[in-house]
Amino acid sequence: MTAHPSPAAAPSDGPRPARTASRVLVLNSGSSSLKYQLLDMADGGGRLAAGLVERIGERTSRLKHTCLATGETRRHDGPVADHDTALKAVAGELSRDGMGLDSPELAAIGHRVVHGGMFFTEPTVIDDGVVTEIERLVPLAPLHNPANLTGIRTARSLRPDLPQVAVFDTAFHTTMPEYAARYAIDTRLADRYRVRRYGFHGTSHAYVSRATARLLGKAPEEVNVIVLHLGNGASASAVRGGRCVDTSMGLTPLEGLVMGTRSGDLDPAVIFHLRRVGGMSMDEIDTLLNKRSGLFGLCGDNDMREIQRRIDEGDAGARLAFDIYVHRLRKYLGAYYAVLGTVDAVAFTAGVGENAAPVRAAAVEGLAGLGLAVDPESNAAPGDGARLISPAGARVAVAVVPTDEEWEIAAQTYAVVRKGD
The footprint of ligand ADP (CB under 6 A) covers 231-233, 260, 302-305, 350-352, 355-356
Q: How far is the CB of 384 from ligand ADP (least distance, A)?
A: 12
- 260 class by beta-carbon count within 10 Å (0-12 exposed, 13-18 middle, 19+ buried): buried
Residue whose beta carbon is closest to ligand ADP:
351
Instruction: Please say which residue, 324 or 394, places its beta carbon nearer to ligand ADP.
Output: 324
CB nearer ligand ADP, residue 245 or residue 311 = 311
Report angle CA 308, 285, 251 to the nearest 5 degrees.
85
**What Cα–Cα distance (Å) separates residue 346 from each residue in 106, 248, 334, 371?**
37, 15, 11, 11
Of 40, 169, 301, 344, the catalytic one is 169
**Nearer to ligand ADP (CB atom), residue 39 or residue 356:** 356
Q: State residue 246 phi and psi, 5-degree precision.
A: -165, 150
At its nearest, how many Å lie between ligand ADP and the CB of residue 93? Answer: 23
Least separation in angstroms between residue 304's CB and ligand ADP is: 3
Q: Which CB contacts under 8 angstroms, 24+ apart, belong to 125-134?
A: 125/12, 125/13, 125/14, 125/15, 125/163, 125/164, 125/165, 125/416, 125/417, 126/14, 126/152, 126/156, 126/164, 126/165, 126/166, 127/14, 130/166, 134/166
What distance in Å separates the CA atoms of residue 261 and residue 267, rounded to the nearest whole number? Answer: 17
169 annotated active-site: yes
**212/302 with CB nearer ligand ADP:** 302
CA–CA gap between residue 207 and residue 199 (Å, rounded):
15
For residue 201, the minimal CB distance to ligand ADP (Å) is 9
Report the DSSP beta bridge partners of residue 23: 40, 106
Nearest-approach distance from CB 352 to ligand ADP, in angstroms: 5
**Judged by CB, which is closer to ligand ADP: 27, or 181?**
27
- Residues that are catalytic: 169
